[in-house]
Amino acid sequence: MSFITRTKPVDTGMGSGASQLKRTLGWPHLTALGVGAIIGTGIYTLTGVAAGLAGPAVILSFGVAGLVCACAALCYAEMASMSPQAGSAYAYSYMTLGEMVAWVIGWSLILEYTLVCSAVSVGWAGYAAGLLHGAHIPIPDSLLAGPEAGGFVNLPAVFIALVVTGVLLIGTRESATLNFVLVCIKLVALAAFVALTLPSFDAAHFHPFAPFGFGAHEMGGKKYGVMGAAAIIFFAFYGFDAISTAAEEAKNPKRDLTIAIVGSMLLCTLIYMVVAACALGASPFDVFSKSGEPLAFVLRQLNHPMAASLIAGAAVVALPTVIMVFMFGQSRVFFAMARDGLLPNALTAVSRRGVPSTVTMITGLIAAAVAGFMPLSEIASLANAGTLAAFIATAMAVMVLRRRSPQIVRPFATPVVWLIGPAAVLGCLYLFTSLSAKTIIFFFVWNAIGVVAYLVYGRANSRLRAIDAAIQP
């Protein structure tokens, strides 16, 4: 069988012994993983970045990105409930589109999850720096920002990435329980922000509504307009795909994964649009968009300094949930690829607590290094390219299996699949073209490196190749 087209069966085994992950997560934990990943940097930090690209029409940007993600989420729910195993879009591609495509998607997910961890670490550092300055703690500015922001290294970003790595090494259920508590803190803080900004809502701040137009157009290396902003804040929505990486650790995956993926997506889209509308109503977009901590900035402008500090404090406490979820997801993708033989087998090592410890530590160290030296907007944009590729692959996987294996039992079936599937693919392709030219080039360079790595190592060490060779006469 050609290494390009060989696929795994849909009901493929999920490992055993040292390579078996423990089933410890129920639907509340899985939903909290999704909300923990989705409600984070996108609302606490990227709201300002996106508003600067789209103006008040950033609300539409959230809506567009949310709609595309909703289509992809329905496809993820079908695949995850049908084949609950670690690996997410990588595993789905391997079952339907072939080993070569699976490798490219896995390689793209490695890019996505690592960069998300780094981006959120930088977003967290912005709020942490504000609190440190407010407390008059004498830390040099050169240690609070990376080189492109005029500093030397973003030390708080490095710090939080390494702390989260340590928490994940403690255990899966323990990490998920902590995430649940922090998500509750995050939601209470956002509810307080809405309550405090509504009395100061000024509709005049929404005129002109779309100063940069609808389509994405590039100026100074950035894509402006509703779609340009959507391509950036798309980053804020895709936490639900991290839920699918936990499929192998779900107690009742056929039920719990569907509830968590669809539920977290719908809840978070509503929250994003409401919070963005309140921020825009309380402050002109060209004012708060310049702040690294936009929600806290808006509250200070409204003369709520104590509330601003509490919001910033909530961000400092709760944003690490996003890092935690995506670092969790990254380690599971690494784990799945290594278990399939495409990466070194040493990466499949699981600790006594059921944690793939080696890949968790590797992910944490790389994320910390990137966070220390790269700016938020660059990291978020680069991360989006890998995510869009994964979403396209998952939607394609659903449609391929509907044609190839219609008889397979599907605990959750994507409704009107021949509308939702193509909509997810076309929407993701459009958002991909809305990314900056530099991001698109970097994505293809990254995957060119990945293809070389696969041809040098993965193709020869593939577990599926060994099985094929053993059964051939």
What pLDDT shows up at residue 224?
83
Please indicate, yes or no, if residue 11 is contained in any of the structural domains.
Answer: no
Residue of higher predicted confidence among 460 and 81: 460
Domain membership flag for residue 416: yes
In a domain, 471, yes or no: no
**Is 90 exceeded by the pLDDT of residue 421?**
yes
- C-alpha atoms less than 13 angstroms from C-alpha of 436 in its C-beta half-sphere: 20
- State the virtual CA torsion across 11, 14, 15, 21 in degrees, nearest 10: -160
The dihedral of CA 230, 441, 122, 218: what is its sign?
negative
Q: What is the pLDDT of residue 101?
A: 92
**Band of pLDDT at residue 14, cut at 50, 70 and 90:** very low
Domain annotation covers residue 339: yes
382-399 pLDDT tens trace = 777 888 898 999 999 999
- With 0-12 CB in 10 A as exposed, 13-18 as middle and 19+ as buried, what is 448? exposed
Flag whether 206 is in a domain: yes
Q: Is the pLDDT of residue 338 over 70?
A: yes
pLDDT at 452: 94
pLDDT band at residue 3, thresholds of 50, 70 and 90?
low
Domain of residue 331, CATH code:
1.20.1740.10
- Enter the pTM of the model: 0.77
Task: State the pLDDT at residue 470.
Answer: 64
Q: For 391-414, what is the mean pLDDT?
A: 91
pLDDT for 448 equals: 94
Residue 4 domain-assigned (yes or no)? no
Q: Is 419's pLDDT higher than 90? A: yes
Mean pLDDT of the chain: 81
Per-residue model confidence (pLDDT) at position 178: 76
* Segment of 5-9, 58-62, 84-88, 353-357 carrying the highest mean pLDDT: 58-62
Q: In the prediction, which pLDDT does 18 show?
A: 43
Residues facing 8 on adjacent strands: none
Q: What's the number of domains the chain is made of?
A: 1
What was the pLDDT predicted at 397? 94
> DSSP of 165-215, one letter per residue?
HHHHHH-HHHHHHHHHHHHHHHHHHHHHHHHHHGGG--GGGGSSS-TT-SS
Which domain, by its residues, includes 145?
24-464
- What are the tens digits of pLDDT across the range 178-214? 777 877 888 888 899 999 999 989 888 888 888 888 8
C-beta neighbour count of 136 within 10 angstroms:
6
CA dist 32 and 19 (Å) reads 26
Question: Would you place residue 17 in the very low, low, confident or very high pLDDT band (cuts 50, 70, 90)?
Answer: very low
pLDDT at 471: 65
**Vertex 117 angle, CA 167 and 76, to 5°:** 100
Question: Rounded distance, CA 274 to CA 175, Å?
Answer: 29
pLDDT at 169 over 90: no
Tell me, what's the pLDDT at 468? Answer: 66
Comparing 6 with 96, the larger pLDDT belongs to: 96
Q: What is the pLDDT of residues 33-63, one digit of tens each?
A: 778 777 766 677 677 778 888 888 888 888 8
pLDDT of residue 20: 56
Q: What is the pLDDT of residue 112?
A: 78
Percent of the chain with pLDDT over 70: 90
Phi, psi for residue 472 in degrees, rounded to 5: -80, 140
Q: Is residue 261 one of the residues assigned to a domain?
A: yes
Choose between 111 and 218: higher pLDDT.
Answer: 111
pLDDT band at 473 (very low <50, low <70, confident <90, very high): low
pLDDT digits (tens, 9 = 90+) for 121-139: 887 887 778 777 777 787 8
Q: What is the mean pLDDT of residues 226-240?
A: 75
In a domain, 197, yes or no: yes
pLDDT score recorded for residue 398 = 95
Cα(143)–Cα(151) distance, rounded to whole angstroms? 6
